[in-house]
Structures are given as structure tokens and as C-alpha cells.
Amino acid sequence: MMKRIVLLLLALTVVLHTAAWAQARPDFTGTWKFAASNPPNYPGSAGWGIPSPTIVVKQSATEVTVESGQYGGQMTVVYKLDGSDTIWEAPSVTQSGSTAVVKWRTKARWDGNKLILFTWNTALNQLRDILSLSGRGLTIVRGTEQPGPSTNATLTYSKGS
């Protein structure tokens, strides 16, 4: 009898811990309007990492999709939530004005209630966005690593309609 009670309590503890862990993951789904940047004049680099005026996030149990204009044109980027890489190609306009095919690689991982999104392209540019929610606001701590100096900024978005 005592063994059954201990097993039942152990099973209940695992179930409650799993449920609490699942609830800690926020849902970033929505249309988000750019509100502010710190530093205020955060420029990005040649279109890489520039804040998009509007981003649309769709989140499921397996992936997050971000639609934005932050890469020099309208783009949809998919991040798998199982930690695996996604590799895809898309046309891109170079600094000289010609069109080239760029290979992109994306990856996502959770850090508690924050979602970290990694994006790389063929030119060895790397963008790291750390997403968190506060009330009706979305905060993105963006770090870019490219040839030359790193650029970092905190971007704030408010929930759009």
C-alpha cells in the first residue's frame, strides 16, 4: 500500500512539473508594430538587422514563423522549435544592385520563457534575436555579428490589431 502511494505521488509530481514547464513557454503569435530602439539610432548594417516596422509571428508547437521586412525586403523565416537547423535559399539584391541567391540557416532554442532565434546567411552574417513578452509588449534583444564591429540593440514592439 505504501509503495502505491509513493508511486502515485511520484507520478503526480512528474505530471505537475511537466504541466508547469509547458505553461512557462509564452506564445509570441501576433502582429507587432515597432515602437522604439535602444540605442535610438540603431542602423543595422546594409539592411542586415534593421528593425522592421511590422512583424507578424505565427507560433505552433513545432515552429515559429516570422514575417518581416528586416532583411531588405519582405521575407518569411521559419524556425523549428526542436533545436534543429533549417537551411533554405532565397534571392537577394547585392550592394552592387545585382541579384544573387543567398543560402540562409535558422535555428531556435528556448531559454526559460525567452525564445532565442539565430539566423545566418551565406555572407557569414549572423543575427541573434532574444524574444520576451511583457504585458502587451514584445522585446527583442538583437545582436548582429558580421565582418567589422558588432551591433547590439533592444527593440520594442507593441501588439497591433
Q: Are 153 and 64 in contact (CB under 8 A)?
A: no
Q: Which amino acid is at 157?
A: Y
DSSP state of 83: S
Q: Which amino acid is at 49?
A: G
pLDDT score for 79: 95
Q: What is the pTM of this model?
A: 0.75
> All 3 cell numbers of residue 16?
505537475
d(CA 9, CA 155): 45
Q: How far is CA 123 from CA 54, 103, 105, 132, in A?
A: 25, 9, 11, 28
pLDDT score for 70: 58
Q: How far is CA 42 from CA 52, 119, 126, 143, in A?
A: 12, 19, 16, 11
pLDDT score for 59: 97
pLDDT score for 18: 44
Give the DSSP per-residue string, 35-63: EEEESTT---BTTBTPPPSEEEEEE-SSE
- In the three-class reduction of DSSP (H, G, I as helix; E, B as strand; rest coil), residue 11 is classed as helix
pLDDT score for 111: 95
Place of cell 524556425: 79
In the chain, domain spans? 26-159
Domain 26-159: what homologous superfamily? Calycin beta-barrel core domain (2.40.128.20)
List per-block mean pLDDT (blocks of 10 residues) for the chain, which spans 161 residues.
56 48 79 89 61 92 88 79 88 73 89 93 79 93 71 87 61
pLDDT score for 46: 47
pLDDT score for 99: 79
pLDDT score for 116: 95
